[in-house]
Amino acid sequence: MSHPVQIKNALISVYYKDNLEPIIHELNRLGVTIYSTGGTETFIRNLGVNVVAVEDLTSYPSILGGRVKTLHPKVFGGILARRNFDGDEQQLAQFEIPEIDLVIVDLYPFEETVRSNAEEDDIIEKIDIGGISLIRAGAKNFKDVVIVASKSDYSELENILKTQNGETTIDQRRAFAHKAFNITSHYDTAIFKYFNQEEPLPVFKESIQTSQVLRYGENPHQGGVFYGDLEAMFTKLHGKELSYNNLVDVDAAVALIDEFTEPTIAILKHTNACGIASRNHIKEAWIDALACDPVSAFGGVIIANDEIDAETATEISKIFYEVLIAPAYTDEAIAILKEKKNRIILIRQVVELPVKLFKTLLNGVIEQDKDAVIEGADQMKAVTKRTPTEHELRDLYFANKVVKHTKSNTIVFAKNNQLMSSGVGQTSRVDSLRQAIIKAESFGFDLKGSVMASDAFFPFPDCVELAAEAGILAVLQPGGSINDQKSIDMCDLKNISMVTTGVRHFKH
């Protein structure tokens, strides 16, 4: 049953008046009686259109500095009354309440006010009471009322007014109500999260209004959606849309590169760095990052923290990659990079990133603080007879940044601010170590004089022994094992240094 409703009376009270004018003129053409308040009432009058002040309908003025304007039975009765329901119709007649068939109301800009770092009194005043009540009332009674709660829906409403002469279908009204409840729930979540910052209640609430449907999820048989504003994060210069797996790798790449201030390039596959180097010039960083594992670099995600110039672009274009991210590119570099099809080229914008991480798990959600800690030389405690040199400390710092962003169990070898190799995601730490040694040898790296970092403690001294035999001179680990002293003794026996940080960096 279509249950058409002809719009005869409309209530309009909005904060944003963009693109409202065409709707006012259409309602006027259709002979609709318009009720309004405050600035919206003035706006409508200035268009030369008749409007009835809500105060004239309610016989009650706006009070408390505008806090109470529409909260009145003559307003809400006209919205919530069930048409063709005898009891409701009789009461409307008894109290001279007009049926309101269209409600156009938006909400005070609460989130924008919070982001502006306004004083709390100003923020509290932007908590909408009347508006959100009107929206909920109109949406609840969608069988008889059209509710438009966002200026983004104005064009759709205007089209209905023009093509259907003010008559709406039940499907259209339900669709508007659906969107209206999305707006009110998001608004309430934003308010709750503002109040939930100090002494937070143990509840999980998130609401993200923008989204992008992905080609598929992790695999082609899985659906996928990204919730968030990618356009705020990146400017796409070239290539197709990012896939689910691209996004996962890009997220890991951004987290890793943000650890570095000197010109650095990292190459990632399946969220792990297969190459990374810091140099004085970005081209040198690229050459040395690629040298680490040119096989795994194929089809990877590349990220830089410095401008890509023409020389660097020429070198990068020699291999196939999925995504390239940098803060800037020269015009010549862009022209070179665009010569290759199916390469996604992104400019990274400055965006504040979340400090909480969450994901679905079992029948709920698990949340944690972002791992924002990284230990430098001041947090490295030498526990062996031999202490690391200044050069080794710098390499240990580099290796620690990389190991923090690599899947556990992991071992990282580094030398001269370059990743030599890593053992990634193994079920035992010694297997990660062996994997790292084999990879280094397969790509011609001499591990003599390099350093080693581990994301967690060594349960046995075998890792240190194998590392020393490979030529490692300094080791970093968090410490905390009951067998720490055995690993320290092995370092002393092999005349290598060890530092502990007291901080574990598991990544699962």
User: What positions carry a catalytic annotation?
Assistant: 140, 270
Which letter, b or e, does each residue of 137-172 get, where b requires 16 or more Cβ atoms within 10 Å of its Cβ? bbbebbebbbbbbbbebbeebbebbeeeebbbeeeb
Cα–Cα distances in angstroms (integers) from residue 418 to residues 62, 196, 317, 447, in the given order: 68, 43, 21, 12
* Residues 6 or more apart in contact with residue 13 via CB below 8 angstroms: 36, 37, 38, 40, 54, 69, 70, 104, 105, 130, 131, 134
Decide the pairing of beta strands 356-361 and 364-369. antiparallel
Inter-residue contact 13 to 70 (CB < 8 Å): yes
Instruction: Return the beta strands (E) in 187-315 as ranges.
Output: 211-213, 225-227, 234-238, 264-269, 272-278, 300-304
Place of tokens 């591990």: 447
Question: At 122, phi and psi to the nearest 5?
Answer: -70, -40
Degrees to nearest 5, angle at CA 170 with 169 and 171: 90
* Rounded Cα gap, residues 197 and 239, in angstroms: 40
